[in-house]
Structure formats: structure tokens, C-alpha cells
Amino acid sequence: MTEPSYPDIRESVRRLCAAFPGEYWRALDRERAYPTDFVQTLTREGFLSVLIPEEYGGSGLGLGAGIAILEEVHRSGCNGGAAHAQMYTMGTLLRHGSAAQKARYLPAIASGELRLQAFGVTEPTSGTDTTRIRTFARRDGDHYVVSGQKIWISRAEHSDLMVLLVRTTPRDEVAKPSDGMSVLLVDMRAAVGNGLTIRPIRTMLNHATTELFFDDLRVPVENLIGEEGKGFRYILDGMNAERILIASECIGDARFFIDRASAYAKERSVFGRAIGENQGIQFPIARAHVQATAAAAVVDKAAAMFDAGEPCGSEANMSKLLASEASWYAADMCIQTHGGFGFAEEYDVERKFRETRLYQVAPISTNLILSHVATHVLGLPKSF
């Protein structure tokens, strides 16, 4: 088996996570509270700024380092969902922002002075058909006036900045459905109460999910990222990074479940022998390991392509599908191995079980990935 990439980073992340054991996460989960101490520690140690160039205060490393960090966070029993968006959302600013925007925001993001963790794309009426978003930004002098609604926006209450996708030209007035969309960098501190309302949505897992309402929110034109009307292309860059990074979290989850199931199977004795001696216990754990190992290889390939600047949309999507399915199989296996104890809060298996189930649905559902592969990779006809 090949050695894991970035061993020093992985070891540092494991040491950091050891200070945030299951008790910490269980307490937060009960109250649906934000892991402020954990996020601040990740930031202080430089892990959330690993993709930011050194000239702006980051490490200047590639996505390969990012996936190593998030995999180890999740394998350690922690959860990167409270902060992972900072990695891929920052990329939209880094790749497409102006020199002035990067100089103004990136050093503050790297230091932790500013949090950029909110990514405003999905809407109630459009779902994953991004070209049908309705949130509209009307130009008014040196401002855009934004009206509309977003849903399933995580961490909006805990972010200083948000990357927001809006329409600046109606869909029926553009040559292609993906034209006429623009990206704005919204200062949440100034926006809340002045045209932006945030409504929390309580869900089965602690992801600080919200719904956003825009009512004539004024955003300075200088906060436009890139060119007006070209925003869909900018967002796609971020989405590819998002899928790869979240796939790495799924690999971490899968390995968490495999580690826990293996340890329990060795220790748990029934009828005078360890349950791990039974092939009915061994084989599902072994299969979970095989699936996670295979999925990790695809995640690594997608990250390498992204870092090389190669088109990687299909690879990013496939890595997310394979990793999320590997983590979900491993989660189910781990519950089954533990039996009734798998549902006990103190083992942390049920919490991680709930957390990893999300990735069959978000940030893109398994069926939509299969549709993408069928039409874009295999050339099969579209059904719509």
C-alpha cells in the first residue's frame, strides 16, 4: 500500500484533534452549537489557510494538502463541516478576484480576522439546477440591489463574508442559460438587518444550516468578483474543489468507522471468543476497507488534476460519489458490528453515522452525479 501523502501535516492534525475528543462534539451536537474553539484552533495552526498563497499569509500548498487535512479531521472523530467551506470558497476569490480584493481580504482570512465560510448558491425553486436561480442583483449606481432567497446555506450565522451567486441578467435574455450570472462578495456584518435576514433550519445533524432572505440588500459594485455575467464559470471552479474536499472528509469518515469497528471486534467477546474471529464480522469490515482504499485513489487523482489546472469536473464528481458511498457502507457496517452499542451516544458512532449520511445528498446528490457521468462522459442522451 502506498504511503499517505503529507505525513507531517496528517500527524499535526491528529495531535490537534486529540484535544477535541468525543465529549466535545457530543456536547455541541446536543445543543446544535458551533465549534468555535475547534475552528479557531484550526485557523491559528494555519490549516484553514493552507491553500492561500504565502504572499497573503497562507501556506501556498495545493488541494492535495487540503484533502490530507480534512481526511484526518474526520478520521479523528471530529468534523470539518464547520470550516471546510473556507478552503473552497476562498478559491473563488483567489482565482477570480481582483488584485485589490485579494490584498484586502486574503490576509485577513488567513489570520482568522475574517471568516469566509458561507457559499450562497442553492434556492428553494431551483435546487441543483443552478441556471434557474432567481435571486437578482439590479445595478443602481455604485451598488447592486439584491432581492431573492437562498436555502441550505451552512454557517451563514458564523461567517463574516459570503460568496453569493446572483442573476444580473434575466435567464430569458441570455444566449445560454449559464450566462448572466454574477458573483458578489457580501459583507455579512453589514448586511444582516439591512436587507439580509437569516433564518436557522434545524436538521438531523449540526451543520448550522440556514435560509437567507434578501430584500433590497445593497452590495458595493467593487465587491463584484470577476466580470459581470461570467459568475457561473467562477462558481464551477469552487464546486470542483468542494466536491474533492468533501470526498476526502468521506474517506476520513470511512476510516473512522473501519478503525472503530475493527477495535470493537477485537475487544468484544461473546460466547467466550472475540466477535472479530467470525467471518460474518470480518468480511464487512474488510470490504469497507477495500472500498475506502479504492475511493481514496480516485480522490487523490481528482485533487492532482485540480492542482495541475486540468479539467476535472467528472473526476471531482466521481470521487465524491465513490467516497460518499464508501463512507455510508462503512457507517452501516460499524453500526452493525457494534449492535445496540452503536446507537449509544458515548461511542460517537451514531453521531458520525448521521453526519456522513448527508454526503449522499449534498453538495450534490448521487443521482445527479450519475446523470453527469452518463451524459458528459459516456455521451448518452439527456433526458430533459
From the list 71, 242, 315, 355, the catalytic residue is 242
Domain 117-231 class, CATH top level = mainly beta
Cell digits of residue 143: 451598488
pLDDT (mean) for 93-122? 95
The per-residue pLDDT for range 202-247, each reduced to its tens digit, is 999 888 899 999 999 999 999 999 999 999 999 988 899 999 999 9
Q: What is the CATH number of domain 7-111?
A: 1.10.540.10
Q: CA-to-CA distance for 77 and 17, rounded, in angstroms?
A: 8
Residues contacting residue 297 through CB under 8 Å, at least 6 positions apart:
none
Report the chain's mean pLDDT, rounded to a whole number.
95
- In this prediction, what percent of the chain has a pLDDT beyond 70? 99
- Beta strands per DSSP E along the chain: 116-120, 136-140, 143-154, 161-167, 181-187, 196-200, 209-220, 224-225, 269-270, 273-274
CA dist., res. 88 & res. 103, Å (int): 18
Instruction: Encode pLDDT of 156-200 as tens digits.
Output: 999 999 999 999 999 999 999 999 999 999 999 999 999 999 999
SS3 of residue 129 by DSSP? coil
For residue 384, pLDDT beyond 90 = no
Identify the residue with better confidence: 382 or 146: 146
Phi, psi of 168 (to 5 degrees): -115, -10
Q: Where in the chain is the domain with CATH 1.10.540.10?
A: 7-111
Give residue 184's pLDDT: 98
Q: Provide the pLDDT for residue 101.
A: 97
One-letter amino acid identity for 216? D
**Can you tell me the distance from the alpha carbon of 160 to that of 191, in angstroms, rounded to the nearest whole number?**
10
Instruction: Give the Cα separation of 330 and 356 in Å (integer).
Output: 10
Stretch(es) of the chain classified as CATH 2.40.110.10: 117-231
Residue 1's contacts (CB-CB under 8 Å, 6 or more residues apart) are: 293
CA distance 212 to 351: 27
pLDDT in tens, 50-100: 999 999 999 999 999 999 999 999 999 999 998 898 888 888 999 999 999
- Give the pLDDT confidence score for residue 210 in this predicted structure: 96
Give catalytic status of residue 242 as yes or no: yes
Return left, alpha or beta for 365; rule: phi > 0 is left, psi -120 to 50 is alpha, else beta.
beta
Q: What is the pTM of this model?
A: 0.95
What percent of the chain clears pLDDT 90, i.e. is strictly above it? 92
**Residue 28: how many CA atoms within 13 Å on its side-chain side?**
21
d(CA 232, CA 172): 16
- The pLDDT of residue 4 is 77
pLDDT per position as a tens digit, 253-288: 999 999 999 999 999 999 999 999 999 999 999 999
Mean pLDDT of 317-323: 98
Say what the pLDDT of residue 195 is. 98
Whether the per-residue pLDDT at 145 is higher than 70: the answer is yes
Amino acid present at 294: A
- Would you state the CATH architecture of domain 233-377? Up-down Bundle (1.20)
List, by residue range, all CATH 1.20.140.10 domains of the chain. Answer: 233-377
